[in-house]
Amino acid sequence: MDGVLIIDKPKGITSTRVVEKVRRKLKAKVGHTGTLDPIATGILLLTVGRATRFSWIFTGLEKGYRVHGVLGLITDTYDLEGEVLEKREVRVSCEDLEGVLKRFCGEIEQVPPPYSAKKVGGKRAYRLARKGVKPQLKPVRVKIYRIELSWCRIPEFEIYTEVSSGTYVRSLVNDIGKELSSGAVVKDLTRERVGPFTLREAVPLEEFLDSEDPWRFVIPIDRSLSFLPKVSLDFFKGRKVLNGNPVLVEGDLQEGYVRIYIDETFVGVGVHRSGVLKPERLLIPEGLLQS
């Protein structure tokens, strides 16, 4: 089966290690669509089998995080797992914190954490940081769609935020601490949403690994892509698409990525622009359109 697996990652394990465990359990090709720090829990969206061909679509989805932060600390990793570089007296109120959060809503420039998988000169930033080399990371433009204070008991607080792909929540919390002149680090972090997928749909890693029928948790690829509009083609246009050619489509169809079906059979993803459908990534069932 080709599809998507929504794992609820426990704290203290790397995303790579989760992928290895799932791969051994399923005895199939498995990839992730965005890592989670070892300190983080929550949704780790994995692609299984030929669904790995569509990983880029899932990687680009918005994410939702619940973050438990602590004011008054600065660490080298921007979380409680790192070395404490400085302790500061906290002279801010919950109202001050809430006011600062509003400044981060919208498009912002953000510098990734020194301990991150971002590449600098072809090397991972965290590898350089572990060797005592301060990586020269460039700011990237990200978008904060939503950020709100869930609760506040100074020096600790919790926020919920929805962000664009590529946003580093540890950097966000670090920057909030800078704005308050108090410093701030992440204590706990949970990814609660990836696009349309929520934590309620996720299976805990240990439950998956202990299951006698682990494949029942894998969502078929076409259903996992159901957030994309559907385009159904007839035999003639379908053959053209399977040969890599664009076709004209009619109807009120939004522009962007779409799921392509031929005779109700899912065959891949295409891009729709101004009435023209171009195949982007195909997954052709054996024997389809043979004549």
Q: Which residues are catalytic?
A: 37
Alpha carbon distance 64, 206 (integer Å): 23
Interhelix angle for 169-179 vs 94-101, to 10°? 120
Tokens at residue 94, please?
């919950």
Q: What is the DSSP string of 191-244?
A: EEEETTEEGGGPEEHHHHHH-S-GGGGPEEHHHHTTTS-EEEE-HHHHHHHHTT
Cis amide bond preceding 246, omega within 30? no
Strand residue runs (E) in the chain: 3-9, 30-32, 40-48, 63-71, 73-75, 84-87, 106-110, 119-120, 123-124, 140-153, 156-163, 184-194, 197-198, 203-204, 219-220, 230-233, 247-248, 256-262, 265-273, 276-282
Alpha carbon distance 191, 269 (integer Å): 27
Find tokens 């301990």 and name the residue. 115
Tokens at residue 223, please?
């259903």
Strand residue runs (E) in 20-81: 30-32, 40-48, 63-71, 73-75
